A = this chain, B = another copy of it.
């Protein structure tokens, strides 16, 4: 049976997807979260995601797509590859996992359909510094059509952060009443350190710059 006012959120326990989880809670009567494990170095990420979902009183599902990490080498799943600290000029940083968002959203759609849920939420953003192709709006729209054709259904993929930089994401989490939770409990750092993180990796720098910028605006 179709659950018209229900959504499934692709959820990692990071800043963006946690903000999306609270965005979904505001807009849908029933929200569930799906988290993907794919051989990331930091399994702490999953523990943190589960804990945040519990706090948000949202059902938490964990799907193992470790096949993805095995098929294409990348620095997030292969401990022998040091993480790029800068984006190479003519290619993606080696944190790019080819096909990742496509695999995540496809499995999320199969799971959602079986639950009668047709709203999917993902925290991808075009404003992301790396310009990953599978975070772009064009890709998400094309994927939405393809999913609908694949299963002859009417899924709607929501991307509340698509055009927003990290400063705006901090602001949104504040408006949703989740600022403290996002600041103190999420994990974004490539080195696996929660909250403010290591402070040195690209993900921490981006998060920190956005936070400082938001706090300046807020306090001025």
Contacts and interface: CB of A to CB of B under 8 A. Distances in A.
Interface in A113-157: 113-114, 133-134, 136, 138-139, 142-143, 145-147, 149-152
B145 A114 contact: no
A103 B109 CA distance: 11
Given A64-B67, A71-B107, A98-B113, 16 more contacts: A63-B67, A68-B107, A68-B110, A72-B113, A98-B150, A99-B106, A99-B107, A99-B151, A103-B107, A103-B110, A133-B152, A136-B149, A142-B142, A142-B149, A145-B146, A146-B146
A201 interface: no
A102 interface: yes
Contacts of A111: 71-72
Contacts of A101: 150
A151 B136 CA distance: 11
B106 A150 contact: no
Interface string A60-83: 000111011001110000000000
17 contacts: A65-B67, A71-B111, A72-B114, A73-B114, A98-B114, A99-B110, A99-B113, A99-B151, A101-B150, A102-B146, A106-B106, A133-B151, A134-B149, A138-B149, A142-B145, A142-B149, A143-B149
